Amino acid sequence: SACATGTNAVGEAAEMIRRGQTDVMLCGGSEAAIEPISVSAFKNMGALSTRNDEPERASRPFDAERDGFIMAEGAGILLLESLEHAQRRGARIYAELIGYGSTADASHITAPDESGTGAARAMTAALRDAGLAPEAVDYINAHGTSTPLNDRMETRAIRQVFGPHADRLAISSTKSMTGHLMGAAGAVEAIMCVKSLETGWAPPTINYEHPDPECDLNYVPNQAQQLELYVGLSNSFGFGGHNGCLAFRRWEEV
């Protein structure tokens, strides 16, 4: 729900397949909210960037000079299915969805819990669901909205979950390139996470020019990096403390 809607849709679809309720699900999210009421509401909250003179440089997650997000519209849809169903029809398999975590910290009507506790619990739940230690993760597609509070909070949450391993992770916010797709963000970013694992390319966080001492991880600044990526997380953290995390593993034929 909220800006974790796409992630929750994918995660709950996977749960239905696991429970044996169905073999295949279409899931994801879409958003078309660039209209006066929504723009005014986000502006009045102080959530939007005011870099109107350089719009292409306005979305700058984790950068010290970030000042808010850029609204965007779009959609992302994934086809999830059981392994048996996929193999039976000869499907091309891109990745395996191995874990899902969802939490609600409910600390504020719009702001996340600044300590990062709720977001950390969502990542921990996804790892537990996947049966993985934190050290097994190679890549995170971050929520990374380019707001001062969110990016600081997400960095803290990642450090809580991963400890020293956090410094070895490749982390990127593709919102730096797409803007914030809100309800569609989780689905689109899950797709990007899957493609990162499939291709071995971690997408960049563009417009990262001024390091923030409170955001001190490897955000794949400005240039994509070719890496050995096997396990990745996709994070989504919505207003009101809605937190979701998906864990994916690169598919390899046995």
pLDDT in tens, 6-31: 999 999 999 999 999 999 999 999 99
In tens, the pLDDT along 50-101 reads: 998 999 999 999 999 999 999 999 999 999 999 999 999 999 999 999 999 9
| pLDDT of 1 above 80 | no
Of the listed 27, 85, 108, 143, which one is catalytic?
143
Helix, strand, coil: what percent of the chain each, to 5? Answer: 40, 25, 35
* 180 counts as catalytic: yes
* 3 counts as catalytic: yes
In tens, the pLDDT along 99-141 reads: 999 999 887 887 788 999 999 999 999 999 999 999 999 999 9
* 143 counts as catalytic: yes
Name the band, by pLDDT with cuts 50, 70 and 90, for residue 253: confident
Alpha-carbon gap, residue 147 to 96, rounded angstroms: 31
| pLDDT of 254 above 80 | no
**Class for domain 2-250, per CATH?**
alpha beta
Name the band, by pLDDT with cuts 50, 70 and 90, for residue 2: confident
| Section 204-230 average pLDDT | 98
| pLDDT of 157 above 90 | yes
Question: Do the bridges between strand 95-104 and strand 242-250 make them parallel or antiparallel, or are there none, so unpaired?
Answer: antiparallel
| pLDDT of 175 above 90 | yes
Answer yes or no: are the C-beta atoms of 242 and 181 closer than 8 Å.
Answer: no
Of the listed 27, 165, 180, 242, which one is catalytic?
180
